Structures are given as C-alpha cells and as structure tokens.
Amino acid sequence: MKKTLYVISNEKIFKKKEFFFCDNLDMKTTPEGLNKEFKVKIIARKSEINRRQNINLENIRVFSNIFSYLYEVIKSSKDNDSKFLLISLTPYTFLASILLKFLGKKPFLYLRSNGYDEYKIILGSTGKFIYHLMFIIAVTITTLVSCRKHILMGKKGYVVSPSQLDQSWHENHIVPTTDKIKLIYVGRIKKEKGIFSLLNLIKNQPEINLTIVGASEEDAKVINQQNVNIIKIVEDKKKLIGLYDQNNILILPSYTEGYPMVILESLSRLRPVIVFKEIDHVINGRKGIFISNRNSHDLLEKINYIISNYRSIQDSMKSNKLPNNESFIKNMEEIMS
C-alpha cells in the first residue's frame, strides 16, 4: 500500500468545479510524478484568478487564509505513516514546518531557488533578513533538498537535478532562420525575473523581436511595445517546443535564479541562451549559454556574436548532457523513501 505524501506549498491554485489549476509547471509535474510511488495530497493557497496548468491529482485542498491553511497542516499530521514535502521557504511553509516539528514530524524542504536573493529584490535588505531568520530555523527542523549546492548555504542536504524533459524534447529539431533576431522569454512577469529591465533594454532596438510566453491578460495590457509579442501560458508541450523552434535565442533576464528549467528546454532544442551576470552560475559547464552585462550595447553585441556563429554554437551544444524528468522523480522518490 502506498504511503501518503503531503505536498505543502505556497503556490496559489485555482479551483474550478472538481479541477485544479496552477501556473508553475513544476507544481504540476512533480506531485504528479511522485504520485506513482506515493499517495500525494496537496495543501496550497487558493487563487481567485484562473490558472493554466491542470493538476491531474484528486487530493488537493486550497485555502484562502493562513489559519485554515495551517489547520489543514495540523490535521494532516494525524496520519502517522505519512511523509511531508514543503516546497520553497515562505512564511506559509515556514509556519507549517514549525507546526510539524511540534507535532513530531520532520518534513523535507525542497528549495528551488536562492531565497536570500529573491527576498532582497522584493523587500530590500529587510527581506533578506526575514529570509535568513526563516532559513536558520528551518534547517534545524527539516531535511533539506535543493536543486543547487550553494542554495544549501553549507548546510547538510540532498542535491537533485530537476527537469521537465522527456524524449520528445530531443526529437525533430528544426534549423532556425538567423536573418532576424528573434528572442524568446518563457516565464512569469515579475520584477525579480528582470523582464521589465529587458523590455527597457530593447525598446529602442527595432531589429530585435521578443516573444514573451507566460503573460496574463493583465500583463499584456501593461506591456505595450512594437517589437514585443505576447503569448499567454502554453499548456501544450508540442506548442511550447514549436515556440522555441520559431525563435533563435532564449533570453533569461532574471536577477536571481536557482535552477531555471527553461534553460534545459532551450538547450534541448539547440537554441542558445543569454543570461545576465547576476545569474552566471546557471551555466554549470554547459555549452551554448552566454553572459551579458545589463546594458543595451553589450546585449546587442552578444546577440550579434551568436547570430554570426550560430551553426558552430549549435554543434558545440550537442555535447550537453541534460537531465530528464524521469530521473529527477526517481531521485526524489529515493530521497523520501
């Protein structure tokens, strides 16, 4: 008989009748993958806004306030043979970890990015201090799992290699045209993701066309540039692969990233990647990732270099060894078993 695994997340999930939707693809695929080994139950926050990714699980509970959310965590602790996976360190999951500690449980805490950097960008130095307090307490009452060693900050924990890739990402490659500069950004429209910085860098660069994948209707109203094409969140994998194929360079302008899976997606389609210096650690020895300073001159210089040397860069990218979703889920199962 399967053991129960409670996945406790800060993610906002939209409920429509008996169906549940989120925006973060990892919040969909990781619980779904783990459901093969465990009986997964999700505890998350309630969204009033429609989301795009349908989570194919039955046991999902969402809550509109922190009190009902934490009460559900307390109820879940009564399941003596269950396991607990907290996703990301936020005020919600931090309080959940403390409750579980008092109730005799030691959950796993899966850190997908560097919270120090994220909280600093959102709240300034105060945010960094808040995250530090949560972190130094959480590491003593949880078992850490992270996508990068440096995110553990020298603490003991497991390191995994998240991935959404399957075999279809490596098949039927299409040779792109390089007569035009066609950038693609796949991700959320948030300050810490650097997308507004990028829009400012290219606003006077008519030779650059940018496709943004993942914008909401509200985001589309805010972003109004002639050289920018807005596409809402794409649920269909074949369509997303097609969007990578239609463009020639992925750009990731984030100020902070832990383990951006869009880079794996782009490399699997043999599309070079540009990131800015703040996240140069994402290269991780892989071919086809280029670093730019955060200014228009250097960005255009890097783009032109890639376009001029496109075929040789693609040849070098074929040597990359990319993780897949199956191996990631198996690794997570082994850790929690």
- Helices vs strands, H then E, count in the chain: 12, 15
Reported for 291-299, long-range contacts at CB under 8 A and 24+ positions apart, including other chains, are 294/197, 294/201, 294/253, 295/201, 296/201, 296/202, 296/204, 296/205, 299/201, 299/202, 299/274
pLDDT over 80 (residue 44): yes
Range with the poorest average pLDDT among 98-102, 190-194, 263-267: 190-194
Domains of the chain: 4-163+326-336 (3.40.50.2000), 167-317 (3.40.50.2000)
What digits encode the pLDDT tens for the residues 231-280?
887 878 899 999 999 999 999 999 888 788 999 999 999 999 999 999 99
Res 217: pLDDT = 67
Q: In angstroms, what CA-CA distances link 167 with 235, 270, 277, 287?
A: 18, 14, 31, 20
Q: Which residues pair with 181 in a beta bridge?
A: 208
Range with the poorest average pLDDT among 57-66, 94-103, 144-153: 144-153
Distance, in Å, from the CA atom of 230 to the CA atom of 34, rounded to the nearest integer, reads: 33
